[in-house]
Structure 1
Amino acid sequence: MSDLLGIALRFALYLDLMLLFGLGLFALYGLKASERVSGVVLNIKGWLAGTAILGVLLSMASLLVMTRAMSGEQAWQALGPHVQMMLWQTELGLTWMLRIGALWVAVLAVMTGAAWPTGSLWLATWAAGVALATLAWAGHGAMSDGALRVWHLMADSAHLLAAGAWFGALAAFGLLLLPGNTQDIAPVRSLARALTGFEVVGAVLVAVLIVTGVVNYLLVVGATLDGITQSTYGILFSLKLALFGVMLAMAALNRFHLSPLLLRAVETGEQAMACRALRRSLSLEFGAVLLILGLVAGLGTLGPMSSD
């Protein structure tokens, strides 16, 4: 039960921190300066503050569950000394405190940034990126030694940030495609422009994901495919690759068919059908992302080629 709880909390943290970072980043490259004011196009302030605060709560719960598992102490009320030791005497604890500090910086930046929406977004997104990158220390990257450890953590962090940017963009497109937003032409024009602007960003993110994914595989498993279908780790990893392929296919459909369809529909004012088609496609891509995050949460608890 504790293992399942730990995996569930890992999944929730991935989901929450990627959404926090990805939405903030999207607002910077996908929206005009006037649209970054919360409520003009998206409720940026509410989403960023909410996910940052939720990230603090999830991190606290994750620390307690992890400390309980590592210490062997079964009584929750007796975890105090173990938590203190975890925080101040382990690298994992130090990165946890860094995450909490970064999340509160994001909250304060968003809540006090009405007079400087773009500046507060930059600060909140930077802090969210730091918080997201700290999750690398709870994965396989932290198990390496020496210079290899540095390279592994850098690759893991880059992979997390690229995944968060992609996930946040999907979430932003989904919010812009809500039925209430697509009845008027102005929000749809903003959506069409953002989709066009995401073409270059999306290509860069895919390249980063592929390169860092290959690097992480080589560092965790090695330059071999032996036994990849005979272990729990290998099977989950293969499923992750298959789902990533589905995401790439849906992204290509959006890029080469549905986005141009929406642009043409905007010119004629008949955007309803194009919005419905794009909404269905993004829903499938979003579902694939959720499944991938669930697999990643489980993979992080397994050793390479583990059968358990």
Structure 2
Amino acid sequence: MPIDLTVVVLRWLQFAAAVVALGLPIFRTFAPGTGSRAARRAASIAGLLLSMGAVGGLVAQTAMMAGSWTTGLDAAAIGYVIQSTSLGMAHVARAALALLGAVLLLAGRGQRVMTVMAVIAFAGATASFAWSGHGASSEGAAGLVHLVADIIHALAAAVWLGALVGFSILLARRDPGDVEASARSLAGFGAVGTAAVLALTMSGLVNAAFLVGVERSDRLAGSAWGLLLFAKLLLFAVMVWLASHNRYTLTPALEKAIKAGVETGEAVRSLRVSVGVELAAGIALLGLVAAMGVQMPPASM
């Protein structure tokens, strides 16, 4: 597999794993009905995958910087990248924090303190993406703003997409109690989801200001990075529409059916499909972001 494609695939894997590792435990705070063992196991496995993906990503990034797999697999080259670049240090920190989070979840067996510590570790691992992407390219005070915006962007995405994973788990169940838990969780996530969308929008605008700029906006359509950005924005718009449809149409319909004591099968199926499509769009969006990381933004041309 070509080096650059390997880098993209491993970045995609890390993004998806971070979403589950961080987002699912956070989701359980307002949806305790999401099978504790199943959710804990899924988040732990995701943490381990994130750790392994970070190690593999470090090797692939080193190979891409060196121009060959042979050099990329050299211990001295990897050591140089770790010691001399923020990208290398970010990968090491991500691998360590993700592994720590997975161990804490497994050892804690649902204990609140251990879960909180695991969430903090996963949050640190997710935040580290800011140092291995374009967010670390700016310097000075402006660079700090860009970096913070990138961190907020990564954390907000994990909260939103992690919740979709949680909703998918709940909606896949058939027990009447799970249907009611799904309705409560969907209603309760409304404010959190809105905050996540706002955070993604605002931080995305900040990132665009740094990576594109008004004076170079005419170059967007002629660059691979710009085309990927347009595709990302389209998927984001689809996800926002689906989230709004779920919140204001499908969830009230499910709540109404539960209160009336009538068959909820159709309402649950509609939500299951809608949430599934939204999650699929989110996973595809993560792939686009992974690809954007190896392309040159207009501001760097």
Structure 1: runs of 5+ lacking an equivalent: none
The 5-angstrom pairing of residues 86-97 of structure 1 reads 86-97=81-92
4+ aligned runs moved over 3 Å, structure 1? 305-308
Which residue is 1:38 aligned to? 36
Aligned length: 298
Q: Indicate the RMSD between aligned Cα atoms, in angstroms.
A: 2.0
- Taking structure 1 as the reference length, the TM-score comes to 0.91
**1:280 equivalent among 243, 266, 273:** 273
Retained in 2: the 8 A contact 1:233–1:307?
no
Which residue is 1:53 aligned to? 48
Structure 2: runs of 5+ lacking an equivalent: none
Question: Does 2:298 match 1:297?
Answer: no
Shift of 1:100: 2.0
Shift of 1:269: 4.9
The 5-angstrom pairing of residues 134-283 of structure 1 reads 134-178=128-172, 181=173, 183-224=174-215, 225-267=217-259, 268-283=261-276
1:53 to 1:120, Cα distance in 2 relative to 1, 3 A: same
Which residue is 1:102 aligned to? 97
Deviates more, 1:91-100 or 1:161-170: 91-100
1:30 to 1:271, Cα distance in 2 relative to 1, 3 A: same
Retained in 2: the 8 A contact 1:233–1:306?
no
Deviates more, 1:13-22 or 1:216-225: 216-225
- Taking structure 2 as the reference length, the TM-score comes to 0.93
Amino acid at match of 2:77: H
Report which of the two has the higher share of helix.
2
Shift of 1:78: 5.1
Residue identity (%): 32
Shift of 1:220: 0.8
Which residue is 2:13 aligned to? 12
Shift of 1:89: 2.8
Amino acid at match of 1:16: A
CA distance in 1, matches of 2:34, 2:114: 10
CA distance in 1, matches of 2:58, 2:72: 14
1:44 counterpart SS class = helix
Shift of 1:73: 4.5
CA deviation map 1:179-236 (0-9, x unaligned): xx1x211111111111011010011011101100000000111135323222222221
Amino acid at match of 1:283: G
